[in-house]
Amino acid sequence: MIPIGDDNPTLGTPYVTFAILAAMVGTWLLVQGAGFDVVQLATAACNYGLVPGELTGQAPLGQRVPVGPGLFCVVDDEPVNILTPVTSMFLHGSWAHLLGNALFFWVFGNNVEDSMGHGRFAIFYLVCGLAAAATHVVLDPASPVPTVGASGAISGIMGAYLVLYPRVHVRMLFIFIVFFKVLDLPAWLVLIMWFGYQVLMGLPEL
């Protein structure tokens, strides 16, 4: 099912939401080669993805992690590593990963920005992403595997949406082969579906 809107109109223009979406898409196209160049995609993930073991120093330098046929990420101690909790938030692993995150972020983010205001929303988004990154590092501090995606930040946005608008319904497009139907679902149920989607997206890493 795909989120296509809600019954909660916004009052202002969500400039920060637009900017974050543009940054996600721009990074995917310009830095990651839109996924068409496997080497460029892997290089971006290795260099700018979050590697817990690089931040903590618990992963041995030179350790290799396979990320594709004949492709490996190598643990290093480059200065850019300290920035990866932020840079990883704008990277994605595939078109499905990008489009899924972008759709959920658009449907929920504009309302949260409307409530918080532009500045507080931008800070809240970054704090949620950094909190998710910190949790990942604490839970697996020696991991040499690069992590990418805005899922942690978007999960925080969706949690804020649920707190701010607990009674709002979200319009979800249900597609089954040639059958299409729009369903109105409560926000809490969509949040559960979101976490299920994140589990499915994370299975390849496991």
pLDDT in tens, 47-67: 999 999 999 999 999 999 998
pTM over 0.75: yes
pLDDT score, position 203: 60
- Residue 147 carries which DSSP code? B
CA dihedral 181, 182, 183, 186 (to 10 degrees): 150
What is the C-alpha to C-alpha distance for residues 162 and 115, in angstroms, rounded to an integer?
12
Average pLDDT, the chain: 88
What is the C-alpha to C-alpha distance for residues 42 and 146, in angstroms, rounded to an integer?
10
Between 118 and 1, the higher pLDDT residue: 118
What is the C-alpha to C-alpha distance for residues 20 and 79, in angstroms, rounded to an integer?
25
pLDDT score, position 141: 95
With 0-12 / 13-18 / 19 or more C-beta atoms within 10 angstroms meaning exposed / middle / buried, residue 34 is middle
205, two tokens: 């890493």
φ/ψ of residue 67, rounded to 5 = -125, 5
pLDDT in tens, 119-136: 999 999 999 999 999 999
Contact 141, 53 (CB under 8 A): yes
pLDDT score, position 1: 66
198, two tokens: 């994140």
What is the C-alpha to C-alpha distance for residues 88 and 132, in angstroms, rounded to an integer?
11
φ/ψ of residue 181, rounded to 5 = -155, 140
Amino acid of residue 136: H
pLDDT in tens, 145-179: 999 988 889 989 988 988 888 888 877 777 766 66
Among residues 173, 12, 205, 37, which one has the least CA distance to residue 104? 173
